[in-house]
Structure 1
């Protein structure tokens, strides 16, 4: 079954619209995790802060990922602002990530998909490849992106540099902790965001892996409904559980490989 046949077989267009409650959730999900992590780190409770930092990073990925696909329910400026602010807080140019992510959807696991390179590696190879992955997505965007992408990437990198200078110049220990955790998390992206959902799917790249276990999806904020996302990228993350049910009902025979 082709992608177009799948699109015609499942009702999904109504899922693109967010209610006011859903819009507020998708655009503010990161805030409590960030505030609690910073509060604990400020008082030196780094071990206690670590899981909150991890959930901030995960919810930040969810927020900007929706932004990549214009699925936050906000206008262009607010979507851009979300990517910009999270770029500084997550210590990476998210317009560079966006450029490569949209190419990933277009050239999934084929030549030209720089984001997907780690999918064909071993799990430990993908972990070790992480720092190269982060460098490559910035390099590719500056080389292949248009003027607007290049400007956004350079502006975000300059803002990150200014943020890092202030953090280390004034020795703000709680923010130094935050920066270190974010850099480590970014270096694991080739494993968590690519390998886990695409390994051993080269035979049919359209059918990415998915996660259907309830508590695992709660713990990961529905970020591993990746099969559903690749088939219907315009659907916001908060709607993916409903989309998964519709996909199962309409096409029960579609192969669903588990993420973990």
Structure 2
């Protein structure tokens, strides 16, 4: 039986919500730099983690062009927000859209960790970062130049962080890079393994959905993962609202 397509066009950000979604990672980045420059590391490191998570949300919504911007603006924001994670945004877009189109198939590199054991997720996490880069080049050779340009920019950022430390002794850049690396290495766990291995009626997921009425991206990544697969154009900020108002997806749909 053919499934009736449900419109999600009314799930759009208000102007205030849009400003919040667009500015959040950059405001957090400024706060991190200020705290790190003052060597208040006990505050700076958590803010760095929050910056990376905010960047991930902005990156993800840019991939699905759900922030109410033009196509060109979404593309630019995709590049910029991914740089906060020291990644190529357009490379991540390739593998993420493949994940939506061929979820957990043999050719779904982003979803591959969902098939691993928990031990493999932790051991292979850092390596998986690099395999995704090569997979994106294979899947979308037409964007290879842009992907390589963005990768080059991430390398330049790292070189800049090292130079900053060499010339001034400041760890501001290197500590941020370390935080971004740790989150990236754990991404197979919180962005693939947990969302796909945890049943959408699991008590932990339901508890996460209850607490995600405010901005909690790492909770939303698994609490509403099944909903996102069915309604990918709904912005992350409105997933809790969509969960209340849209029909619950069947488990096989994601």
Q: What TM-score do the two structures reach when normalised by structure 2? A: 0.86
Give the structure, 1 or 2, with the largest relative contact order (CA under 8 Å, sep 6 or more): 1
Decide which of 125, 128, 137 is 2:132's aligned counterpart: 137
Greater mean alpha carbon deviation, residues 150-159 or residues 211-220: 211-220
Q: Which runs of 4+ in 1 moved over 3 A?
A: 209-213, 216-219, 221-224, 253-256
Q: What TM-score do the two structures reach when normalised by structure 1? A: 0.84
* Deviation at residue 144 of structure 1 after TM alignment: 2.2
On the 8 A contact 1:96/1:141 being kept in 2, the answer is yes
Aligned residue in 2 for 1:156: 150
On the 8 A contact 1:167/1:175 being kept in 2, the answer is yes
| Alignment partners' CA distance in 1, 2:24 and 2:115 | 32
Aligned residue in 2 for 1:62: 57
On the 8 A contact 1:84/1:156 being kept in 2, the answer is yes
Tell me, what secondary structure is at the counterpart of 1:141?
helix
* Deviation at residue 211 of structure 1 after TM alignment: 6.0
Decide which of 37, 42, 62 is 1:42's aligned counterpart: 37
Aligned residue in 1 for 2:16: 21
| Alignment partners' CA distance in 1, 2:213 and 2:104 | 25
Aligned residue in 1 for 2:216: 220
Greater mean alpha carbon deviation, residues 226-235 or residues 165-174: 165-174
Aligned residue in 2 for 1:124: 119
Structure 1 residues 164 and 117: CA distance shift in structure 2, 3 A: same
On the 8 A contact 2:56/2:82 being kept in 1, the answer is no
How does 1:1-260 map onto structure 2 within 5 Å?
4-5=3-4, 7-8=5-6, 12-15=8-11, 17-147=12-142, 149-171=143-165, 172-199=170-197, 212-216=208-212, 218=214, 220-221=216-217, 222-224=220-222, 225-247=224-246, 250-251=247-248, 254=250
| Deviations 1:10-58, CA, capped at 9 Å, x for gaps | x53311x322112212211212321222211112222221211111111
On the 8 A contact 1:120/1:200 being kept in 2, the answer is no
Structure 2: unaligned runs, 5 residues or longer: none
* Deviation at residue 182 of structure 1 after TM alignment: 0.7
* Deviation at residue 143 of structure 1 after TM alignment: 1.9
Greater mean alpha carbon deviation, residues 169-178 or residues 55-64: 169-178
* Deviation at residue 191 of structure 1 after TM alignment: 0.7
* Deviation at residue 127 of structure 1 after TM alignment: 2.0
* Deviation at residue 69 of structure 1 after TM alignment: 0.5
Q: CA RMSD in A?
A: 2.4
On the 8 A contact 2:88/2:151 being kept in 1, the answer is yes
Structure 1: unaligned runs, 5 residues or longer: none
